[in-house]
Amino acid sequence: MLNFDEERFLRIQSGAAGLAQRFDDVIGACIAAGAENVFFLGTGGAAILMQPAYQLLQRKSRFPSFIDLTAELVITGSANLTKNSIVVMPSLSGTTKESVALLGKIKEIGATVLTLVGHEETPLGKGGDHVFVNFAEDDTSCESFYLQSLFVALSIMKHRGEITNYDELIGELQSLPKLLLEVKRAYEGKAEGFAKTLAGSDYHIVTGAGNVWPEAFYYGMCILEEMQWIRTRPVHASDFFHGTLELVEKNVSVILFKGEDECRPVADRVENFAPNYTDKLTVLDTAGFELPGISAEVRGLISPILLATVLERISAHLEVMRNHPLTTRRYYKKVAY
């Protein structure tokens, strides 16, 4: 595979998978101690990666869950953020400015903070009540963060008696690292073609529904915009029909991500509409990826993980094709802002 270290990928994703028991121990203790809600509070891309777990709790659990913008929450506070809250704070670097500022406020409140970081010797690496360290870099962080946040959500549901097959679900999730590597191998031959589509337009409408919408948002904003300087319009597949559809015409690129949860029909609507008005609809559908031994239930949960793992292959080809390394920045962490 192009510019890819298989052993490194397996080490990082296996590290994330190996955290399941510790997450369960911590969450179980929090629930037993009277925790009343959970907040997922990341910044930028890390925040977006928490959305599928938050959505799972919103739709399948009666345990109150919240997600907010750290830059705003540090100013406004929240009536629901109390000493009885569980707070999940992801930051790959462990130094994200907005998250570090909010951590100080949360510590004053007395909530229980779980920090998910790639580096321990950092403000967030040292500042959490429970610190989960799994080294990763930009090209491997998505799967790691998606998995860790999913462990949090499933553990909450387990300890509240809202699911009865927790052990089976976790067992399947922990088998993912090697399966994801095989998905990458199987997709490698198609990755260059998808990259050509991305390189072939200077503007893309990127859309999806259900738990893959966050990955559409993330890939448009954090990869195509930040790392490739390609203009995008990330829009939820439902909102697509309340404004953005008017921008669709011949030669306008529409990129549709499709997952396998119950919201798939919302994405189908875009897929049925767009070809009538543009010749540049491109669909990336997780249903085409083979995952031996993974149940339909778990496939529905991990659709964003599957997309992230093949999009990394697409990005590897895209940066070579455009002679634009994914590490190149003009402003991000380069100038004051």
Instruction: Kindly report, residue by residue over 81-96, the tens digit of the pLDDT.
Output: 999 999 999 999 999 9
Instruction: Give me 166's structure tokens.
Output: 């927790």
Q: Please state the pTM of the whole predicted model.
A: 0.97
Domain boundaries, the chain: 6-174, 178-321
Question: 183-221 pLDDT, tens per residue?
Answer: 999 999 999 999 999 999 999 999 999 999 999 999 999
CA distance 70 to 41: 6
**Are the folds of 6-174 and 178-321 the same?**
yes
Contact 99, 128 (CB under 8 A): no
Question: 239-280 pLDDT, tens per residue?
Answer: 999 999 999 999 999 999 999 999 999 999 999 999 999 999
Give me the pLDDT at residue 96, please.
Answer: 97
| Averaged pLDDT of the chain | 98
Q: Computed over its alpha carbons, how large is the radius of gyration of the chain?
A: 19
115 confidence band (pLDDT: 50, 70, 90): very high
Give me the pLDDT at residue 88, please.
Answer: 98
- For the chain, how many residues are written? 337
Closest by CA to 64, choosing from 47, 90, 82, is 82
Residue pointed to by tokens 């966050």:
214
| Phi then psi dihedrals of residue 203, to 5 deg | -155, 135
110 confidence band (pLDDT: 50, 70, 90): very high
User: Domain 6-174 in CATH: superfamily?
Assistant: Glucose-6-phosphate isomerase like protein; domain 1 (3.40.50.10490)
Residue 262: other Cβ atoms inside 10 A: 12
Q: Say which residues have a Cβ less than 8 Å from residue 328's Cβ, sequence separation at least 6.
A: 227
Instruction: Give me 143's structure tokens.
Output: 């799967």
Give me the pLDDT at residue 172, please.
Answer: 98
Report whether CATH 3.40.50.10490 matches the domain 178-321: yes
CA distance 219 to 208: 11
SS3 of 137-175:
CCCCHHHHHHHHHHHHHHHHHHHCCCCCCHHHHHHHHHC
Mean pLDDT of 51-66: 98
Q: Say which residues have a Cβ less than 8 Å from residue 166's Cβ, sequence separation at least 6.
A: 154, 155, 157, 158
Q: Please, what is the Cα angle at 213 between 71 and 230, to 5 degrees?
A: 75
Contact 151, 23 (CB under 8 A): yes
Q: State CA 215 to chain mean position distance.
A: 6
Mean pLDDT of 165-176: 98
Dihedral angle sign, alpha carbons of residues 301, 303, 305, 306: positive
Give me the pLDDT at residue 135, please.
Answer: 96
